[in-house]
Amino acid sequence: MKKLVSSLLWMVVSLGLITAIAAAVLSYVHEVTEVPIADVERQKKTEAIAEVVPPFDNDPMTDTWVDSESGCTVYIAKKGKNIVGGAVESYSPDGFSGRIDVIFGFDAEGTVTGYRVIKHAETPGLGAKMEQWFRDPQGRRAVIGRNPSVDNMAVAKDGGDVDGITAATISSRAFLDALRRGYESFKKSNNTVR
């Protein structure tokens, strides 16, 4: 019986020691990689902003406004002291496979100047086509060059002015929901920041 208790005690101590060492190693790895990962994320966001907004000479990453209602972040693009547009980090929780995150660019009047899908889990070959579909000038697919205050940014199937992705209406609705949410935040920021 003493041998069994001794064996169990040794096993508990061994497992405890292994767990403590593993926790220490994980903590160290997290500490070492946290800053580089954040730097990469910031670089990706900076590149996306530069890609989707009109030319600017400020640092939109530091010139931001957060819409407390929607949770969208607006990165304000300026040339001199004039606002030339902005990039909005928007989202929709209603994608076919969950949340989608998109950065939309707008000029000072609110016309869409570009977008980049940042994160999604949509079906490959269907909803995942949103990165290119809404740039395509064929039919009424493209959102770039359109202004949500003039155009009904909903899928044609719902009475809107945009052709949704074939066989991916839910993903299309989510993308356009994110666009509308981003546009509303951009409008609010213009009224607040100017």
CA pair distance 107, 82, nearest whole angstrom: 12
Please tell me the pTM assigned to this model.
Answer: 0.80
Q: Is residue 14 over pLDDT 90?
A: no
Q: Is residue 149 over pLDDT 90?
A: yes
Unique residue bearing structure tokens 């994320």 = 41
Degrees, nearest 5: CA angle 153-157-162 = 30
CA gyration radius, the chain: 23
Report the range out of 12-21, 44-53, 86-95, 120-129 with the highest average pLDDT. 86-95
